[in-house]
């Protein structure tokens, strides 16, 4: 039986623990009451997509990485470019290479149907990365949740903060350190390259220039990836089992069969090489470390509390920008293909703006709903009357 002294401490410890949990932290139970079907809904769409095409699992895993390394895991990579906005999709590490956006759209539509306006795009990426890994035979982990979505993106940061495949080990280490990730995280997370494909442009220099490459392996790759041309010709990151999440990636490295220069760099120093060997000999240690590092990566600078928004369409920010008129120095969204000559009701919005709030438009007759529909699609989730969305008409 507990002594009175011990019992006295219990409530204090509980209060302390709750206090810690509340301070902007993510929680695996975040949607348990807000949207009990969130996790199963995400998983169902991911499984269907990866069944259809195994590589999609790799592409979804990579999206989460490229999201998190650029101003934190905030869904910024998902924002489409528009006439007035340049996002991250054309950044060097992303352009012509990141994929899976249609699957994210499908997931988002499914969770919106289950729980409108509740589940963030950033959380969808974190869950899809986990579900993809599991489906392809990798480890599972509990995904901390409660991220909110950015209203913006950063092309410059996408170009500087996502490491290039030509990086040497010291550059890789510092780029991970910039995100609060260790050398151990670098080695375990690089194990993601046990699945998926890379373009010729990503490894051309390695197969023609590097000395630490198996010559038969290099010769085979050179056939598919000439010195000039065929830039988008694809090869397996894990030459052995590209559709299976296992530890073969590390075995390849010991045989000088890493596809990317950056991959093979992990065998250059004794610290990283000994970890590579550990993961070859102890696949369960790789799985355990990978799961831990994924949680760590997923915790990079999330937007929580009143920061950020829940985007309804992961490709679009919610800032009322459809209402901005074109003028001599500015081209807005009114002439974007979905709106040009078809979106109407702007003068009604102007009238209403002088009176009640924008939200009240929905209560006015059906002929005015159309513009609100487009506005809402772009704008729901924005904290009402928040700063920075004051429009004069």
Ligand X SMILES: *[C@@H]1O[C@H](CO)[C@@H](O)[C@H](O)[C@H]1NC(C)=O
Binding mask 57-76 for ligand HEM (x = CB under 6 A): -xx-xx--x-----------
Residue 65 · residue 76 · CB < 8 Å: no
Q: Please tell me whether residue 285 binds ligand X under the rule CB under 6 A.
A: no
Asked if residue 247 binds ligand HEM (CB under 6 A), the reply is no
C-alpha neighbours within 13 Å on the C-beta side of residue 145? 27
66 is catalytic: yes
Distance CA 348, CA 361 (A): 9
What is the DSSP code string of 277-334? Answer: HHHHH-HHHHHHHHHHHHHHHHTSS-B-TTSSB--SSTTS--S-GGGPPPBTTB--ST
Report the alpha-carbon distance of residue 190 to residue 209 in Å, rounded. 22
Report how far residue 152's alpha carbon sits from residue 202's, in angstroms, rounded to the nearest whole number. 28
Q: Taking CB within 5 to 8 Å according to partner kind, which of ligand HEM, ligand X, none is near residue 262? A: ligand HEM
Closest CA to 37 of 121, 112, 128: 112
Q: Per-residue contact track with ligand HEM, 207 to 246, x per CB under 6 A?
A: ------------------------------x---------
Strands 234-236 vs 197-199: parallel, antiparallel or unpaired: antiparallel
> What is the smallest separation between the CB atom of 28 and ligand X, expressed in angstroms?
29
Interacting span for ligand HEM (CB under 6 A) from 79-87, 198-206, 250-258, 339-347: 198-206
Q: Which residues contact 295 (CB under 8 A, 6 or more apart)?
A: 141, 142, 143, 144
Question: Given CA atoms 262, 264, 265, 266 in this order, what sign does their dihedral have?
Answer: positive
- Based on CB atoms, which residue is closest to ligand X, 75 or 144? 75
Phi/psi region, residue 79 (left: phi>0; alpha: psi -120 to 50; beta: rest), is beta
**Total number of residues that touch ligand HEM (CB under 6 A):** 27
In angstroms, what is the minimal distance from the CB of 205 to ligand X? 4
Compute the distance between CA of residue 26 and CA of residue 276 in angstroms, rounded to an integer. Answer: 31
Q: How far is the CB of 270 from ligand X (least distance, A)?
A: 12
Partner from ligand HEM, ligand X, none contacting 384, C-beta within 5 to 8 A by type:
none
Name which position in 168, 178, 274, 357 contacts ligand X (CB under 6 A). 168
286 to 325: interface string for ligand X, x by CB under 6 A: -------------------------------x-x-x--x-
Stretch that binds ligand HEM, among 27-35, 163-171, 336-344, 382-390 (CB under 6 A): 163-171
**In contact, 349 and 332? CB cutoff 8 Å:** no
Residue nearest to ligand X (CB): 317
Residue number with CB closer to ligand HEM (103 or 260): 260
Q: How far is CA 246 from CA 134, 254, 266, 318, in A?
A: 11, 15, 17, 40
Q: Which residues bind ligand HEM (CB under 6 A)?
A: 55, 58-59, 61-62, 65, 97, 99, 163-165, 167, 172, 186, 189-190, 192-193, 195-199, 202, 237, 260, 262
Report, as residue numbers or ranges, the catalytic residues.
66
Q: Which residues bind ligand X (CB under 6 A)?
A: 79, 82, 84-85, 90, 95-96, 152, 154, 156-157, 160, 168-171, 201, 204-205, 208-209, 211-212, 227, 231, 265, 268, 317, 319, 321, 324, 327-330, 335, 337, 340-341
């Amino acid at each position: 039986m507990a002594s009175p002294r011990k019992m006295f401490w219990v409530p204090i410890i509980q209060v302390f623990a709750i206090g810690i949990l509340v301070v902007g932290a993510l929680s695996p139970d975040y949607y348990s009451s807000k949207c009990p079907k969130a996790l199963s809904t995400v998983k169902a769409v991911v499984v269907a997509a990866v069944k259809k095409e195994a590589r999609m699992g790799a592409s979804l895993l990579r999206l989460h990485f490229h999201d998190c390394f650029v101003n934190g895991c905030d869904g910024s990579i998902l924002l489409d470019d528009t006439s007035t906005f340049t996002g991250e999709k054309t950044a060097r590490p992303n352009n012509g290479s990141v994929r899976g956006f249609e699957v994210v759209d499908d997931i988002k539509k499914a969770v919106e149907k289950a729980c409108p306006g509740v589940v963030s795009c950033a959380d969808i990426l974190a869950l899809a990365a986990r579900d993809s890994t599991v489906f392809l035979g990798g480890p599972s982990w509990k995904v901390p949740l409660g991220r909110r979505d950015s209203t913006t993106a950063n092309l410059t940061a996408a170009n500087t903060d996502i490491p290039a495949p030509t990086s040497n080990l010291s550059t890789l280490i510092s780029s991970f350190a910039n995100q609060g990730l260790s050398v151990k995280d670098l080695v375990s997370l690089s194990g993601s390259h046990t699945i998926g494909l890379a373009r010729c442009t990503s490894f051309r220099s390695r197969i023609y220039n590097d000395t630490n490459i198996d010559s038969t392996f290099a010769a085979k790759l050179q056939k598919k990836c000439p010195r000039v041309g065929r830039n988008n010709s694809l090869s397996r990151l894990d030459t052995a089992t590209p559709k299976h999440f296992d530890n073969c990636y590390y075995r390849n490295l010991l045989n000088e069969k890493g596809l990317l220069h950056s991959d093979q760099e992990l065998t250059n120093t004794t610290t990283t090489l000994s970890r590579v060997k550990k993961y070859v000999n102890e696949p369960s240690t790789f799985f355990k470390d990978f799961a831990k590092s994924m949680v760590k990566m997923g915790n990079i600078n999330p937007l929580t509390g009143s920061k950020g928004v829940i985007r309804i369409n992961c490709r679009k920010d919610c800032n009322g920008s459809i209402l901005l008129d074109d003028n001599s120095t500015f081209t807005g969204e009114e002439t974007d293909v979905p709106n040009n000559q078809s979106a109407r009701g702007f003068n009604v919005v102007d009238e209403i703006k002088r009176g009640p709030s924008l939200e009240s438009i929905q209560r006015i007759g059906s002929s005015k709903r159309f513009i609100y529909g487009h506005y809402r699609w772009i704008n729901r989730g924005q904290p009402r009357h928040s700063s920075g969305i004051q429009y004069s008409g």
